[in-house]
Structure 1
Amino acid sequence: MASADNNAESLLVVARQAATRAHCPYSNFHVGAAVRCDDGSVIDGCNVENASYGLSICAERVALFAAITQGKRPLELAVSCVDAQTDAAPGSRMPCGACRQVMQELLPADAKIHIDGVGHQHLSELLPHPFELDHSS
C-alpha cells in the first residue's frame, strides 16, 4: 500500500508544479493536474483563463486532452489547487462538473482521482450517474 501512496504523492507533486504555470489573471487561482498513463508516463496541464470566460479551460481537461493527443491511455489523475486556503472547505478543491464528465469519458470507471488536500476518490464516486452514449450500435 505504501507504493500506491508514493505513486499518488508523486502525481500530486507534478500537479503542484504544473499549477505554477497557470495563466489565471482573472481568478488568481492556480490549478495543476497530472495524468498517469498506461505506459507509466505522466502528462501534466494547468488552467488557462481567457477574458471571454467561456473560452477558459481547466487543468484537468488540459492534462487529459494532452494525453489523448499524444496517443496515451490515461489511468488516474491528480489535481492541485495551490491557492486554496488550507482551512477551506474541500469543495473548493474539487474538480468541476465539466471536468468530471470529461474524466468519465477518458478514464476507467474505477480510476483514482487524487485531490490535493482532500484525498482520493474513485471516479464513480465523483460522478455517480454520468451522461453516457451507447457505443454498441
Structure 2
Amino acid sequence: MSIWETLYQAAKKEYHPEDISPFIYAHNVVSAIESDNGQIFTGFCIESCSGVCNLCAERVAALNMYNNSGQTRIKRIITFRDKPPYGKGSGIPCGACREFFLQLNAKNKDIEIMENYTSMNTVKLSSLMPNWWGEDRYKNKH
C-alpha cells in the first residue's frame, strides 16, 4: 500500500458528517497528515454558526500531531469530503491552513499536498505560498 493510500484510508475513517449540536457540524471534511517521523495523524472539520469557532480538518490534524507527539514538521497531507481529491483545487488547504503550516515550521514549505488522487498529482506548499512574508523572521531567529 502506498503512503497516499494509507493516508486516504486513515482520513476516510473520519468521514461521517454529523450535527454535534444545533450550532455545530463536523466530520464533513477530513484530513490525514504524515509527520516528519512517518506517523499519521487525522483531523476533521468542525464548523459552527459563528465563523470564529471553525477549525479546518488540516489544522485539526496538525494540532493532533503536535499534541500527541510534539512534532511540527509535516511531509504529506490529503484532505477531502466524500471522495478523494480530484483536481481543480480539490484537496488544497485554505489560506488560513497554509499560513498555519508555515508558521508552525519553516520546513513545512515542502509539504506535499495531494491534489488529484486518481492521477497522484501533488503540489508543494511553497508553490501555493511563494515569497511568504514570514521567511525573514525564521532567518533572523536562527
User: Given the two structures, how large is their TM-score scaled by the length of structure 1?
Assistant: 0.75
Distance change (3 Å), C-alpha of 1:43 and 1:21: farther
Letter in structure 1 aligned against 2:28: H
Compared with structure 1, are the counterparts of its residues 115 and 50 closer, same or farther at alpha carbon in structure 2 (3 Å cutoff)? same
CA contact (8 A) 1:49 1:56 kept: yes
- Residue 128 of structure 2 aligns with which residue? 126
Task: Give the alignment partner of residue 39 of structure 1, picking from 37, 40, 55.
Answer: 37
Query: How much is the aligned-residue C-alpha RMSD, in angstroms?
Result: 3.2
* Structure number having the greater strand percentage: 2
Aligned to 2:50: 52
Task: Choose between structure 1 and 2 for higher RCO, CA contacts under 8 A separated by at least 6 residues.
Answer: 1
Following the alignment from structure 2 to structure 1, what is the Cα–Cα distance between the partners of residues 84 and 65? 29
Gaps of 5+ in 1: none
Any conservation in 1 of the 2:31–2:61 contact (CA below 8 Å)?
yes
User: Which segment drifts farther, 67-76 or 96-105?
Assistant: 67-76
Matched-pair contact (CA < 8 Å) for 2:18–2:25: no
Q: Kindly tell me the number of residue pairs found equivalent between the two proteins.
A: 132
Other structure's SS at 2:31 match: strand
Q: Report which stretch shifted further, 55-64 or 123-132.
A: 123-132
Q: After TM superposition, give the deviation of residue 32 of structure 1 in Å.
A: 0.9
Structure 2 Cα separation of the partners of residues 23 and 128 of structure 1: 37
- Where does the alignment leave 5 or more consecutive residues of structure 2 unmatched? none
Report the CA distance shift for 1:85/1:61 in structure 2 as closer, same or farther (over 3 A).
closer
